[in-house]
Amino acid sequence: MTLRIDYRVAPGGALKGTARVPGDKSISHRAVMLGSLAEGTTRVTGFLEAEDALATLAAFRQMGVEIEGPEQGRLTIHGVGLDGLQAASRPLYLGNSGTSMRLLCGLLAGQPFDSVLTGDSSLSKRPMRRVTEPLQRMGARIETTEAGTAPIHIYGGQKLHGIDYVMPVASAQVKSCLLLAGLYAEGNTCVTEPAPTRDHTERMLQGFGYAVRREGSRVCLGGGGRLEATDLDVPADISSAAFFLVGASIAPGSELLLEHVGINPTRTGVIDILRLMGAKIEVLNSRMVGGEPVADLRVVSRSLKGIQIPEKLVPLAIDEFPVLFVAAACAEGETVLRGAAELRVKESDRIQVMADGLTALGIDARPTPDGIVIRGGRIEGGRVLSHGDHRIAMAFAIAALRASEAIEIEDCANVNTSFPGFSSLANRLGLQVEVIECD
pLDDT value at position 439? Answer: 74
pLDDT value at position 291? Answer: 84
Which of 387, 284, 278, 280 lies closest to 332 in space, CA to CA? 278
User: Domain segments of the chain: what residues?
Assistant: 4-23+236-438, 25-233
The residue-averaged pLDDT of 6-28 equals 97
pLDDT value at position 201? Answer: 97
Q: What angle do CA 219, 222, 227 make, to 5 degrees?
A: 100
Encode pLDDT of 149-183 as tens digits. Answer: 999 999 999 999 999 999 999 999 999 999 999 99
pLDDT over 70 (residue 54): yes
Q: Which fold has domain 4-23+236-438?
A: UDP-n-acetylglucosamine1-carboxyvinyl-transferase; Chain (3.65.10)
pLDDT value at position 296? Answer: 98
Q: Give the burial string for 121-159 (b: 16+ CB within 10 Å, else e).
A: ebbbebebebbbebbeebbbebebeeeebbbbebeeebe
The residue-averaged pLDDT of 134-147 equals 98
Quick check: helix, strand or coil at residue 416?
A: helix
pLDDT value at position 1? Answer: 52
The residue-averaged pLDDT of 114-137 equals 96
The residue-averaged pLDDT of 48-62 equals 97
Q: Give the burial string for 189-201 (b: 16+ CB within 10 Å, else e).
A: bbbebebbbbbbb
pLDDT over 70 (residue 145): yes
pLDDT over 90 (residue 2): no
Encode pLDDT of 216-252 as tens digits. Answer: 999 999 999 999 999 999 999 999 999 999 999 999 9
Instruction: Show which residues are catalytic.
Output: 319
pLDDT value at position 290? Answer: 80
Separation between Cα atoms, residue 396 and residue 185, nearest integer Å? 45
Q: CATH classification of 25-233, choosing from 3.40.50.2000, 3.65.10.10, 3.10.20.30, 3.30.465.10?
A: 3.65.10.10
The residue-averaged pLDDT of 42-71 equals 97
Same fold, 4-23+236-438 and 25-233: yes
Separation between Cα atoms, residue 399 and residue 330, nearest integer Å? 9
Average pLDDT, the chain: 97
Encode pLDDT of 294-347 as tens digits. Answer: 999 999 999 999 999 999 999 999 999 999 999 999 999 999 999 999 999 899
